[in-house]
Amino acid sequence: MSTDSSTGPHQKPDAKKTLGLLVILVLALAMPNLLDFLGWDYYLGTLTKMMIYGIAACSLNLILGYGGLVSFGHAAYVGIGAYVVGILISQGQQNAWIDLSAALLLSGFFALLIGCICLRTRGVYFIMITLAFAQMLYYLSNSIKAFGGDEGLSIKSRLDFGIQLSSKSDVHLYFVVLGFLLLSLYMIDRIMNSKFGQVIKAIKDDDVRVDSIGLHAFKYKLAIFVIAGAMGGLAGALMVNQQKYVSPNLLHWTQSGLLMVMVILGGVGTLSGGLWGALLLLTLESVISEYTLHWQFYVGWILLAVILLAPKGLSSLSLLFKPTDHRNSTKKHPRSMPS
């Protein structure tokens, strides 16, 4: 009597994972009311910031974890999205759908231009050229005095989403960011479980072999690079609304390094690794900085312990953080690589 691979030992872990995700979702939806009940309204803004950084880190994980592209310039797209929305709001354009669309298009466009050059290199050369482009944009934003120069750009209002939903309210902004976070995770899951995503994973293993079987690895890498850049721009657009301020420092290479640390902590190549890494790193910063000005020193030791004890990040500590194993379904229904 044959055994169906969708039942048996694989059923319970999937059920536990689904239940855990539902608990987290319910807790996230109830968080504003819970914080209000406890008198901790201040931390709602901190949670919103964590989710925004989670979107940015997950967008980097698309190219770093799934595509094997180590970019030290990903913060440039976050900064572009932030500046686009900040400039539009300062000019009186507060329609959220127009501003967010502009941020996505421009950050994706810059990712396209930069990717066309950077993706022709590999290894340390790719790392350095992405860093170079990011620093060029950083110094450019510093030099444009009309948009604040090195002092940054402050905005007095936030985006208006219509339908009785405005980011002017911290609670509304929290739910807006939560919605975009869930949408981003859903899109990443759909992309990486599609034929396109399978090619991206194959390119990470051996792009020369992908070329040899008739697929153009460069086009696939450029496509995922643009998607990640646009998603980073979305994070930047949400960030300027949360902070009501955008600074050239948002484009600096240290911000790219911060996003990379988040991805490594959460789990490289996992769906929500960037989110959990952002939550851990920003929580440590928030808590330890309350007791000492030298919080980076202690955070460094904690990060070192996490890396040594959990080399695969937080995803290796719990079933909830692990991606779903599709190997059984692949064996039952083998599918050739798309042409």
pLDDT of residue 324: 47
Average pLDDT value over all residues in the chain: 84
SS3 state of residue 95: strand
Residue 45: pLDDT band (50, 70, 90) is confident
Sign of CA dihedral 164, 244, 263, 24: negative
DSSP symbols for 22-66? HHHHHHHHHHHHHHHHHT-THHHHHHHHHHHHHHHHHHHHIIIII
For residue 2, pLDDT over 50 is answered with no
| DSSP per position, 159-213 | -B-STT-BTTSHHHHHHHHHHHHHHHHHHHHHHHTSHHHHHHHHHHHHHHHHHHT
Residue 292: which pLDDT band, with cuts at 50, 70 and 90? Answer: confident
Residue environment code for 234-268, b if the CB has 16+ CB neighbours within 10 A, otherwise e? bbbbbbbbbbeebbbebbbbebbebbbbbbbbbbb
Question: What percentage of the chain reaches a pLDDT higher than 90?
Answer: 44
What's the pTM? 0.85
Report d(CA 4, CA 6) in Å as an integer.
5
Backbone phi and psi for residue 166, each to the nearest 5 degrees, phi listed first = -130, 135
Query: At 7, is the pLDDT very low, low, confident or very high (cuts 50, 70, 90)?
Result: very low
Looking up tokens 């039942």, which residue turns up? Answer: 7
Over residues 61-108, the pLDDT tens digits come to 999 999 999 999 999 999 999 999 999 998 888 888 899 999 999 999
CA–CA dist 100, 50 (Å, integer): 19
- What is the pLDDT, as a whole number, of residue 103? 95
pLDDT computed for residue 335 by the predictor: 47
Question: Alpha-carbon distance 100 to 339, whole Å?
Answer: 34
H/E run at residue 84: helix 75-90
The predicted pLDDT at position 14 comes to 65
Worst-scoring range by mean pLDDT, 97-111, 138-152, 177-191? 138-152
pLDDT at position 137, please?
93
> CA nearest 263: which of 306, 217, 301?
306
Averaged over 42-62, what is the pLDDT? Answer: 92
Would you place residue 163 in the very low, low, confident or very high pLDDT band (cuts 50, 70, 90)? low
The residue with tokens 């070192």 is 304
Residue 281's region, left for phi above 0, alpha for psi from -120 to 50, else beta, is: alpha
Q: HSE, CB side, 13 Å, CA atoms: give it for residue 265.
A: 26
* CA–CA dist 247, 235 (Å, integer): 14
